Amino acid sequence: MSNKLIDLQHITKSYGGNMVLDDLNLYIRENEFLTLLGPSGCGKTTTLRIIGGFDRPDEGRIIFGGEDITRLAPNKRQLNTVFQKYALFTNMTIAENIAFGLKIKGKTKSYIDDKIKYALKLVNLEGYGNRMPDSLSGGQQQRIAIARAIVNEPKVLLLDEPLGALDLKLRQDMQYELIRLKNELGITFIYVTHDQEEALTMSDTIVVMNQGYIQQIGTPEDIYNEPENAFVADFIGDSNIIPATMLQDELVEILGIKFACVDKGFGTNTPVDVVIRPEDVVLLSPEQSSLQGVVTHLIFKGVHYEMEVEANGFEWLVHSTSMFPVGTKVGICVDPYNIQIMNKPASEDEEAVGINE
């Protein structure tokens, strides 16, 4: 997992004066499942298209296995793409679709036949070779699109929101299928999605993007538990983002109440933002805490109750398995290691820029 397979250096891209990517730097290691995650228009698909060769960056270089491939045509790159809406060739059968890349490379007929069989088995669609793409369901077409890409034994598989068009249940099944495929094939996956749950489930590394900038790179646990700025905290899961003051190391004042925390190095009396996940907010009886509030909303969500608690002028979002009816007075308590401290952005612009790489 150590060496850089793909290295994007200072990538800049704009469409008609609209800056989509600004000085993006990112590397992808061998055998990694890397996810580009962000809202639409954040530049994640453009990044993928630049790696695939369908778009040229205005500036910057793409290094693939030590070689500069910035100006290389897509058909010369050792990677394959699974497109958002499958993009199967409707004028060919499933088998012909899968054989397409191999025929172009001039492989023998017996090799191609073996590969078709192997690929169909890998995606659990044996016996579908003679059917036409239109006769398959969305999930089946998507698996054929994956089969068509992987028979070429690419070093890297690019996936552009491949599950976006599928329904929830199928999407969850396909997530496990993709993880299984990646483990079986041992190739690098670069995956684009706007679905944070999908990203958390499958990735080794998540790259959170917004407005053409990388906001944070890390493992799913890092991204969820230690978001580096308010955008990441807000985009990944629900969160309470509260303005606060860092009084000294390991002590923060939130809404006028002092809380112990585990963060250091923010100086004294520094304005900060704190992130507290709704499941980390513990509700007690009022006398057990110095921060008291009143439950204003209550919704049953299946696994847990979702409540809103008004306390010291802030609406706290709380997930809890125990239920407190609307109007109940409660005390709010948070464990020190569940309080994540973030520097306040110095300006509106920096909020988008996020971390400085």
Partner 1 sequence: MNKKWLATPYCIWSVAFIIIPLFMLIYYGLTDRTGAFTLSNFTAISSPEHLKALVLSLALSFACTVICLLLAYPLAMILVSFHASKTSFVVLLVILPMWMNFLLRTLAMQTLLEKNGVLNGILTFLHLPTLDIINTPGAIILGMVYNFLPFMILPIYNVLSKIDINVINAARDLGANSFQTFYKIILPLSVPGIISGITMVFVPALTTFAISTILGGSKILLIGNVIEQEFTTASNWNLGSGLSLVLMLFILVSIFLTSVFDRDGEGTVL
Residues that bind partner 1 (CB under 8 A): 52-54, 73-75, 80-81, 83-85, 87-91, 100-101, 104-105, 148-149, 152
According to DSSP, residue 146 is labeled H
Is the backbone of residue 17 left (phi > 0), alpha (psi -120 to 50) or beta? left
Least distance CB 92 / partner 1 (angstroms): 8
As a dihedral over the C-alpha atoms of residue 85, residue 88, residue 89, residue 93, rounded to 10 degrees, the angle is: -150
| CA distance to 64, 101, 214, per residue, from 58 (Å) | 18, 29, 18
Least distance CB 120 / partner 1 (angstroms): 17
75, 118 Cβ separation under 8 angstroms = no
Instruction: Using the minimum distance from each CB to partner 1, give the nearer residue, 160 or 280.
Output: 160
Instruction: Using the minimum distance from each CB to partner 1, give the nearer residue, 85 or 319.
Output: 85
Instruction: Using the minimum distance from each CB to partner 1, give the nearer residue, 76 or 169.
Output: 76
According to DSSP, residue 345 is labeled P
Helix (H, G, I), strand (E, B) or coil at 290: coil
What tokens appear for 6 in the block? 């793909």
Instruction: Using the minimum distance from each CB to partner 1, give the nearer residue, 120 or 353.
Output: 120
Q: Rounded to an integer, what distance in angstroms lies between the CA atom of residue 240 and that of residue 229?
A: 12
Least distance CB 133 / partner 1 (angstroms): 11
What tokens appear for 159 in the block? 């996936």
Least distance CB 8 / partner 1 (angstroms): 18
Instruction: Using the minimum distance from each CB to partner 1, give the nearer residue, 144 or 332.
Output: 144
Least distance CB 178 / partner 1 (angstroms): 18
Instruction: Using the minimum distance from each CB to partner 1, give the nearer residue, 102 or 311.
Output: 102
Other Cβ atoms within 10 Å of 194 Cβ, number: 18
Other Cβ atoms within 10 Å of 283 Cβ, number: 23
Is the backbone of residue 239 left (phi > 0), alpha (psi -120 to 50) or beta? beta
What tokens appear for 288 in the block? 């057990």
Least distance CB 45 / partner 1 (angstroms): 11
Least distance CB 161 / partner 1 (angstroms): 12
Instruction: Using the minimum distance from each CB to partner 1, give the nearer residue, 156 or 214.
Output: 156
Q: By C-alpha distance, which of 258, 325, 326, 324 is closest to 291?
A: 258
